Structure formats: structure tokens, C-alpha cells
């Protein structure tokens, strides 16, 4: 992944225009960026050609931008969904170039109310939804969609469903086909990832 100066400009502008620039900068913590880099490097092994992607809990759109800038992935289009209405305009600025090309859209909404038809659905916010919400979410996915899930063991109040280890995350995730599972050590927590399908 290479970030050119045009994209860098829009990243900085997205931070600048956000309602809380310091909070938006949280999306660029070392652990956040490393987790997304890891996701992309593994996804490249399983992605269909020219994927369409929906990201759930997409926050301020950093993952979407990193995916677009992975030329090998060749993403056709990305929709980033977040329940926080303050994320939408920031994510649009973060992905301004692809937004102008009609390849990116940010939407405000609850991931549990989505019925995505994209070839890939990414949910890096599994720790932010309860098991009941997750099972409702999973019930709305299609059998042939590639699902990419991330969670962690970081015990803070907004994390309502952490997993103590990768095995627990696999049990929570209830996928019938897993093509990849793994974990990485980050300074404050472990990040888990599962790639598979319903």
C-alpha cells in the first residue's frame, strides 16, 4: 500500500474538519493501523477479483482508504457503515477521491439492520456488539459472501463482547467455514481475525 500526497491531503483534511480531531486521530494509533495492514495482507489471499466491499463499524473510513490504495486488491467499490452520524462526513472526506468517482459511500446506520449484497463484508468492530446483535447480523449475511471479522481482548467499557483468546472468538463467530484465523500482539491488547463464511 502506498499513500500518495493527494490521498494524504484528504486524510489530514478529514481530521481537520471532524468534530473532534483528537478522537479522529485515534483511528491512526499504531495498533489500529497495524490491525488493518494485517487484515489487508491476509484478505489478499482469499479475495475474489474486483471485490465489492461493505465495512461495518467503518468508523472514519481509514480501512476503506487503505483498501482502495492496495492496488493488488483492485476494489471496485466500498460502502462504510457506522452507527455514529458524525463518522459519515469524515469518512467521505477520508475517501474523497473514490467518493468523487462513485466508488465510495459512507452511510449512517446499525450494522445489524444491513442486508449487504457485496462480495466481501468486513466487520472490525465485533467487540462493539453483543452476542445477540452479532447473531442477528450474521443471519443477514449470504452463504457465498467472504466475511472478515476482527475482535480483541481489550477490556474497556465500550467493548461489550471481547474474547479472551482466538478459540473463544471462533466460538462467538459461529462461522461454518473458516479459511483463516490468527492473532497478533499489539502493545495494549491482542487482535484476533477470522476470514470465512456463514
Ligand X SMILES: C[S@@+](CC[C@H](N)C(=O)[O-])C[C@H]1O[C@@H](n2cnc3c(N)ncnc32)[C@H](O)[C@@H]1O
Q: Which residues bind ligand X (CB under 6 A)?
A: 32, 56-57, 59, 81-84, 87, 110-112, 124-125, 128-129
Shortest gap between Cβ of 186 and ligand X (angstroms)? 10
| Alpha-carbon span 198 to 188, nearest angstrom | 30
Task: Please identify, using beta-carbon distances, which residue of 94 and 129 lies nearer to ligand X.
Answer: 129
Task: Name the helix (H) or strand (E) containing 38.
Answer: helix 30-43
Residues 6+ apart with CB under 8 A from 94: 10, 11, 14, 60, 61, 62, 64, 65
State which residue, 47 or 80, has the beta carbon closest to ligand X. 80
State the minimum distance, in angstroms, from the CB of residue 17 to ligand X: 17
**What is the dihedral sign for C-alpha 59, 61, 66, 68?**
positive
Smallest distance from ligand X to CB 70, Å? 16
Half-sphere exposure of 184 (CA within 13 A, CB side): 16
Please check whether residue 138 is in contact with residue 132, taking contact to mean a CB–CB distance below 8 angstroms: no
Q: Which is nearer to ligand X, 108 or 145 (CB)?
A: 108
- Judged by beta carbon, residue 84 or residue 101, the one nearer ligand X is 84
Long-range contacts, 16-19 (Cβ 8 Å, 24+) = 17/89, 17/90, 17/93, 18/60, 18/86, 18/90, 19/86
Strand partners, 151: 192
Q: Minimum distance from CB of 82 to ligand X (Å)?
A: 5
Smallest gap, in angstroms, from Cβ of residue 46 to ligand X? Answer: 19
Beta carbon nearer to ligand X, 7 or 191: 191
Amino acid at each position: 500500500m502506498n499513500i500518495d500526497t493527494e490521498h494524504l491531503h484528504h486524510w489530514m483534511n478529514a481530521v481537520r474538519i471532524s468534530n473532534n480531531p483528537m478522537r479522529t486521530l485515534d483511528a491512526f494509533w499504531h495498533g489500529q493501523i497495524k490491525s488493518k495492514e494485517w487484515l489487508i495482507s491476509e484478505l489478499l489471499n482469499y479475495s475474489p477479483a474486483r471485490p465489492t466491499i461493505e465495512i461495518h463499524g467503518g468508523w472514519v473510513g481509514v480501512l476503506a482508504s487503505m483498501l482502495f490504495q492496495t492496488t493488488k486488491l483492485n476494489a471496485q467499490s466500498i460502502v462504510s457503515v457506522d452507527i455514529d452520524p458524525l463518522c459519515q462526513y469524515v469518512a467521505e472526506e477520508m475517501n474523497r477521491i473514490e467518493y468523487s468517482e462513485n466508488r465510495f459511500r459512507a452511510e449512517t446506520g446499525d450494522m445489524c439492520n444491513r442486508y449487504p449484497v457485496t462480495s466481501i463484508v468486513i466487520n472490525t468492530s465485533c467487540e462493539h456488539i453483543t452476542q445477540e446483535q452479532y447473531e442477528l447480523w450474521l443471519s443477514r449475511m449470504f452463504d457465498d459472501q467472504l466475511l472478515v471479522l476482527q475482535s480483541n481482548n481489550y477490556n474497556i467499557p465500550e467493548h461489550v463482547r471481547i474474547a479472551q483468546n482466538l478459540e473463544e472468538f471462533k466460538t462467538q463467530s459461529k462461522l461454518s467455514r473458516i479459511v483463516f484465523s490468527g492473532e497478533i500482539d499489539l502493545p495494549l491488547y491482542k487482535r484476533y481475525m477470522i476470514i470465512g463464511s456463514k
